[in-house]
Structure 1
Amino acid sequence: MYAKGQAVIALMEELAPKSYAVAEDKIGLQIGTLQKEIRKVLVALDVTDEVVEEAIREDANLIIAHHAVIFRPLPHIQTDTPAGRLYEKLIKHDIAVYISHTNLDVADGGINDMMAEAIGLTVTEPLDEVHTDKLKKLVVFVPKEAAERVREAMFSAGAGGIGNYSHCSFNIDGTGTFLPGEGTDPYIGSKGRLEEVSEVRIETILPQSVERKVVQAMLKAHPYEEVAYDLYSLDLKTRTFGLGRAGRLPKPVTLQELCEKVKEAFEVPMLRVVGDPDKVIRKAAVLGGSGARYVRHAQFAGADVLVTGDIDYHTAHDALAAGMAIIDPGHNVEKIMKQGVASYLERKLAERKWATAVAASQINTEPFRFV
């Protein structure tokens, strides 16, 4: 059985929640509908005419891309323009387009983590905070014999974490009362009779980002027909998510040696470098896409070099004067997300035994050629 579009995107948003995106980023469904079965997903960096032709050949009816296919408001769609022809082709072939941009940059396991892992960074931290997950407290009342099952369901869905501790909860024994009315099918007791049941009040905390998942898991594991539970917002914060990553290299290397590593890791034939090739690099920062605005963030994080794209002339001079090295392998290194996201979706769909296939686009959308 094929997964519906909404189900595929629910998996995608488990990896990269939309709430992680920076303000006014162009993310989400941009073309088509998710109210259909998805035969195949094509994961792409950009949505170009060549990528759409690839989707048609592959019989893919959903493209998940990093860069928006509609970036500015459209005054019209004229099908005799390049953009208009692209939209027309997508619609005619019933191919939906969903965009995961800065939320995928920010997410755990997203583009910046993929880049950091590719060059061997460890113990990474964000360069620029974008989103802080708030905490909530969930309180639920459960018959004693089902308490362990309900707790485990909530923990497995992401509740109960405090720092490096997991499975955290507080439990109080008490007595629950209820009177089943007409049309009920009570797990315990009989219609029209007041019941008193030994119950456990379970309290646990959860990040707001997994609230829906935890509540659904709790309701599924709970034996009662109608579940009594409360959710409280807390004036506490948990993990912070952000753009870029800074981390330590396994061992010190020269800037020249790191350049060779970057070329190999991101499959680029050449790159631009700011700094002394013999400079010793112990800590590095990475940021997918255009990172000129984040040179100072990298310096503040203690990085010796920033690996990012689209560095301009004046930013390069400023970095050089400040003693900060830069490696610019281009914006297109974000292509690392194609295989990373495809592998993630393939695994998640297989776990649910859906027949929807996933492929990473093989089209090179690098607009520059080196001559």
Structure 2
Amino acid sequence: MILSELVNYLEKQAPLAYQEGYDNSGLIVGTYNKEIKSGLISLDCTEDVVHEAVESGCDIIISHHPIVFKGLKKLNGNSYVERVVMKAIKHDIAIYAIHTNLDNVNHGVNRKIADKLKLSNCSILLPKDDLLYKLVVFVPKSDAETLRDALFQAGAGAIGNYSECSFNTEGLGTFKAGDGTNPYVGNVGERHHEKEEKVEVIYPKHVEKKLVVAMHEAHPYEEVAYDIYKLQNKYHQVGSGMIGQTQEALEELDFLAIVKENLNVQVIRHSNLNGKKIQRVAVCGGAGGFLLPHAIRMGADAFVTADYKYHEFFDAEGKILITDVGHFESEQFTQELLLEIIQKKFPNFAVRLTGVNTNPINYYI
């Protein structure tokens, strides 16, 4: 298939608009019109992973972490980042990264961790704001249902687990068509009164362009009267971390043993044991320390994440069990998640997991 087909699907699952401002998700190496026949999935895109792609004839590497995170001013092979990019270009291998946008979606990285820990009643720990907008559009009553259908199809109207949500009020609109117009109703030069509906729908920012196009195509008027408002509401389907519940309350050491086994980790660093039962658990793949206050506020008994520094363990203050499993370990199942996502849509596309262990950290036990 063409690379753009895969990219469009992945970005529908985890829109680029959901990535953090510091991130660099998306197509890093390659062209959208490139033909691809096979792909390789990895957590990191290293030189060994590119070599594996070359040897196995893969056309694209889909990684979680972007190989290019900061700007590159030169490509002369002086760093592993430059060498990876140069080798991929030399062998015509595309590189695609799906990082914090996959972290932030409800069905993404943190959901996979929660599933591995068998947590239930899961929800986003820190929902994002600044993502929701409202479209208000005025339409003849006779065409209101057609317009609503178009707006819903374009991605508007979802609130939580409910879809096709709108608010509609009836009123009377007036207008006078000027010279050179071709009014849908009424006559040029005469004030016209039309029974209209005001249709209001909420939508996530990334669908706005598609939504406005759909609105114009479905609306009968030459000049469409509409307003767009930015909302302060939090978007509970998108955000950082996840929180859920274990099947039963666990002793702290029993909980740590389950984490160690289910997440396949060699070593767990944790804060002081408090003698409290563990049932409500917050998780965040990668460096999630910034979420600790939110985990505590949401009543979490334990917080499973990575990349904690020495002094940050004091922040537990006896309120929560900080559980640092390691960066790679917390995100390793992202590879499985990507495989599942791609195979669900493209069952005949030859995609597989890398055989390279890209964890740069080793343990002497």
Using the size of structure 2 for normalisation, the TM-score is: 0.79
Among 277, 280, 293, the alignment partner of 1:283 is 280
Among 233, 236, 239, the alignment partner of 1:242 is 239
> Which residue of the partner structure matches residue 72 of structure 2?
74
Contact 1:275 1:323 in 2 (8 A): no
SS at match of 1:306: strand
* Distance change in 2, residues 1:164/1:290 (3 Å): closer
Which structure 1 segments of 5+ residues have no match? 190-195
SS at match of 1:298: helix
169-178 vs 321-330, greater mean Cα deviation: 169-178
SS at match of 2:130: strand
Using the size of structure 1 for normalisation, the TM-score is: 0.78
> Which residue of the partner structure matches residue 361 of structure 1?
354
Contact 1:248 1:283 in 2 (8 A): yes
Percentage of pairs with the same residue = 30
SS at match of 2:131: strand
Count the aligned residue pairs: 355
Distance in 2, Cα, partners of 1:292 & 1:234 = 30
1:247-275 Cα distance to aligned partner (Å, 9 max, x none): 22232112222223223332223423333
SS at match of 1:109: coil
Aligned residues: CA RMSD: 3.8
> Which residue of the partner structure matches residue 327 of structure 2?
331
Contact 2:156 2:204 in 1 (8 A): no
User: Where in structure 2 are the equivalents of 1:182-201 lying within 5 Å?
Assistant: 201=197
Contact 1:141 1:227 in 2 (8 A): no
> Which residue of the partner structure matches residue 113 of structure 1?
111
1:256 maps to a residue whose letter is L
Contact 1:142 1:199 in 2 (8 A): yes
2:19 maps to a residue whose letter is A
SS at match of 2:106: coil
Contact 1:55 1:63 in 2 (8 A): yes
Among 12, 16, 19, the alignment partner of 1:18 is 16
Distance in 2, Cα, partners of 1:231 & 1:360 = 47
1:117-173 Cα distance to aligned partner (Å, 9 max, x none): 3213333444445443222215364794x7645533432443224566544342759
Distance in 1, Cα, partners of 2:361 & 2:231 = 49
* Distance change in 2, residues 1:218/1:101 (3 Å): same
230-239 vs 7-16, greater mean Cα deviation: 230-239
Among 78, 97, 100, the alignment partner of 2:98 is 100
How far is 1:202 from its partner? Answer: 6.5
SS at match of 2:89: helix
> Which residue of the partner structure matches residue 134 of structure 1?
132
Contact 2:243 2:281 in 1 (8 A): yes
Contact 2:244 2:282 in 1 (8 A): yes
* Distance change in 2, residues 1:239/1:75 (3 Å): closer
> Which residue of the partner structure matches residue 2 of structure 2?
3
> Which residue of the partner structure matches residue 192 of structure 1?
none
* Distance change in 2, residues 1:199/1:323 (3 Å): closer
> Which residue of the partner structure matches residue 62 of structure 1?
60
> Which residue of the partner structure matches residue 87 of structure 2?
89
Among 340, 345, 356, the alignment partner of 1:348 is 345
* Distance change in 2, residues 1:356/1:234 (3 Å): same
Among 284, 292, 305, the alignment partner of 2:289 is 292
> Which residue of the partner structure matches residue 193 of structure 1?
none
* Distance change in 2, residues 1:133/1:326 (3 Å): same
* Distance change in 2, residues 1:142/1:115 (3 Å): farther
285-294 vs 79-88, greater mean Cα deviation: 79-88
SS at match of 2:68: coil
SS at match of 1:50: helix
* Distance change in 2, residues 1:83/1:4 (3 Å): closer
* Distance change in 2, residues 1:283/1:76 (3 Å): same
* Distance change in 2, residues 1:259/1:98 (3 Å): same
How far is 1:305 from its partner? Answer: 1.1
SS at match of 1:112: helix
* Distance change in 2, residues 1:147/1:268 (3 Å): same
1:27-83 Cα distance to aligned partner (Å, 9 max, x none): 333223223233334332100122212322443322222212122333422236543
Distance in 2, Cα, partners of 1:342 & 1:272 = 30
Distance in 2, Cα, partners of 1:337 & 1:267 = 14
Among 280, 303, 320, the alignment partner of 1:306 is 303
SS at match of 2:86: helix
> Which residue of the partner structure matches residue 274 of structure 1?
271
* Distance change in 2, residues 1:218/1:298 (3 Å): same
* Distance change in 2, residues 1:133/1:365 (3 Å): same
